[in-house]
Structure 1
């Protein structure tokens, strides 16, 4: 990610991340790490699921399956 874009993303008052439809994470901003308390190694791969409340996880997984490319 280029330096200028990274500065803009880190300045946002929001949690920002990118992920594929399969759940593979591409990027988390620092606010996400601060909020979840997870380290990069814990957050990689399907780490987003580790940060989602158990009552919301099935809806996330279902949504991902619905929007995944065929």
Structure 2
């Protein structure tokens, strides 16, 4: 989960539906194709040129401070 939380916008190519992610064990870059659902959902998170895709800095914060409002 830590790799996903450190995902950076500069490694995402929405028009090409491709992205890269740094995997820590062992440290290496992985390139992958994004699903149509992911390509459609990511723009809803206010894309930027650089910076983290997700606002949380740790796994426990995901449960305390969700993106979507409750209810």
TM-score bucket (shorter structure): under 0.3
Length-normalised TM-score, structure 2: 0.27
Length-normalised TM-score, structure 1: 0.27
Compare relative contact order (CA 8 Å, sep 6+) and give the higher one, 1 or 2: 2
Pick the structure with more strand per residue. 2
